[in-house]
Structure 1
Amino acid sequence: MNIALIGYGKMGHMIEEIALQRGHSVVLKINIDNTEDFTAEKMAAADVAIEFTAPESAFANVRRCLDFGVPVVSGSTGWNQHLPEAKDYCLQKGGAFLHASNFSIGVNIFFQVNKLLARLMASQPGYEVALKEVHHTQKLDSPSGTAVTLAEQVLQQIDRKKAWVNRPAENDQELAILSERIDPAPGTHHVKYSSEVDDIEIIHTAHSRKGFALGAVLAAEFLAGKKGVFTMDDVLHL
């Protein structure tokens, strides 16, 4: 499989390493220094693109891949407000698009556990729920996209919570996400339910970026040759 990397920072380098180990070729690497190479002619050599850039550029990059007829896997976070538009654009173009706030296999299983726990706790008003995420200081968005996904899953199940906030909660309707930036920290996410008598907490801790990179390559392998909008649930059959 021929892969175009849109974004060639730390994640891009790790994705390249994993892709090569799995027998794929990286035919194009786009970063801030060679944006002029992000053309239809050069993208034509790619079976799929993997996009890891900044929140302000992700949507335009995804659209460009779709314009060029190249399936695109996007791991950029912090641009959720444009995701519905990106999905609609993909369908209009007859293309293929997969976005995930986190490509780690473990995190996607963690998402399923989070949804189940939230559903069980929805009828237990004696428990207060809060989230915490810890990442390295180079993390571009706060809260993390993974934390936002976890929070939105909780909000879908627990009616007494109306919105998440990136600070301590000031009333019972707010769901707090507390963000910490510490080096080195690839990523840790906590979801904690607390009552007067006990606590229930689920935690996912990443040891390196390798799990994220592997998941992105697995997503690219899944997406190549397909049409439509997909998620990691499709890739992992969750």
Structure 2
Amino acid sequence: MKIALLGYGKMGKTIEKLALEKGHTIVYKSTSNSEEGEFQEAEAVIEFSSPEAAVDNISKALNAGIPVICGTTGWLEKYDEMVNLCEKRNGSFISASNFSVGVNLFFNINEYVAKLMETWKDYTVSVEEIHHLQKKDAPSGTAITLAEDILKHSEKERWKLDASDKKFLNITAKREEDVKGTHIVSYDSAIDSISIKHEAHSREGFALGAILAAQWLQNKKGVFTMKDVLGIKN
């Protein structure tokens, strides 16, 4: 598979390393101020850039007729616009807050627990995420996905960062040195606490998932999710 990397930071470099090990070819890579290679040769675009660049990068891939995998978060107010562009161009598109196989399994565990806890009103649910100092958006897209799945089975109005009002689902975002990504969902009562946790040990899980998604998307048309890639049923 010939891959174009839009965004060549730490994630882009990890994807490049693992893709080459798997026999794929990197035909193009770009940052905000440089580019190298031939974009039109790509059979898949993997996009890990910045919230400011994501929409232009996704549009570039869809307009070129190249399947695109987007792992950038913090731009989802334009998601429907990208879905419409994908449909207009008869393109192929997957966007995910997290491409790690383990995290996507964690998403499903989280929603199952939320359903289980729905009737137990003595427990207060919250989400905590911890990432490296360079992460630009807060809360993380993964934390938002966790919160939105919880809200389907909760009386909370919506999620809110550092919420003190109990009508909101509180998300706490912490930034610490060299943390790849930790997410904790807690249910606390006066009697006890229950929590589930996912902790990433390296970026390779995210990179491998993105490559897996790019392989899966070949010869498919439409907008898909990681549930489709992994065969996870609701």
* TM-score band w.r.t. shorter chain: over 0.9
Which residue does the alignment assign to 2:135?
139
CA distance in structure 1 between the partners assigned to 2:224 and 2:203 by the alignment: 22
Q: CA RMSD in A?
A: 1.1
CA distance in structure 2 between the partners assigned to 1:157 and 1:87 by the alignment: 26
Regions of 4+ moved over 4 Å = none
Alignment of 1:123-202 (within 5 A): 123-158=119-154, 160-167=155-162, 169-202=163-196
Displacement of 1:89 after TM fit? 1.2
CA distance in structure 1 between the partners assigned to 2:59 and 2:146 by the alignment: 26
Give CA-to-partner distance per residue, 1:150-204, whole Å, 9 cap, x none: 011111111x11111111x322211110011001200100000011211110000
Which residue does the alignment assign to 2:231?
237
Instruction: Give 2:49's match in structure 1, choosing from 53, 71, 75.
Output: 53
Are 2:211 and 1:217 equivalent residues in the alignment?
A: yes
Are 2:47 and 1:22 equivalent residues in the alignment?
A: no
Instruction: Compute the TM-score of the two structures, normalised by the length of structure 2.
Output: 0.96
Kindly provide the amino acid, as one letter, of the partner of residue 24 in structure 2: H
CA distance in structure 2 between the partners assigned to 1:220 and 1:71 by the alignment: 8
Instruction: Compute the TM-score of the two structures, normalised by the length of structure 1.
Output: 0.95
Identity %, equivalent residues: 47
What SS class does the counterpart of residue 69 from structure 1 fall into?
A: coil
Q: Contact 1:3 / 1:47 at 8 angstroms: preserved in 2?
A: yes
Which residue does the alignment assign to 2:222?
228
How many residues are matched? 232
What SS class does the counterpart of residue 200 from structure 1 fall into?
A: strand
Q: Contact 1:132 / 1:178 at 8 angstroms: preserved in 2?
A: yes
Give CA-to-partner distance per residue, 1:97-122, whole Å, 9 cap, x none: 00010011100000000010111111
Are 2:67 and 1:71 equivalent residues in the alignment?
A: yes
What SS class does the counterpart of residue 50 from structure 1 fall into?
A: strand
Displacement of 1:43 after TM fit? 2.4
CA distance in structure 2 between the partners assigned to 1:225 and 1:43 by the alignment: 19
What SS class does the counterpart of residue 170 from structure 2 fall into?
A: strand
Are 2:111 and 1:115 equivalent residues in the alignment?
A: yes
CA distance in structure 1 between the partners assigned to 2:48 and 2:160 by the alignment: 25
Which residue does the alignment assign to 1:88?
84
CA distance in structure 2 between the partners assigned to 1:144 and 1:61 by the alignment: 20
CA distance in structure 2 between the partners assigned to 1:220 and 1:17 by the alignment: 15
Are 2:201 and 1:207 equivalent residues in the alignment?
A: yes
CA distance in structure 1 between the partners assigned to 2:164 and 2:27 by the alignment: 50
What SS class does the counterpart of residue 63 from structure 1 fall into?
A: helix
What SS class does the counterpart of residue 41 from structure 2 fall into?
A: coil
CA distance in structure 1 between the partners assigned to 2:26 and 2:212 by the alignment: 15
Kindly provide the amino acid, as one letter, of the partner of residue 52 in structure 1: F
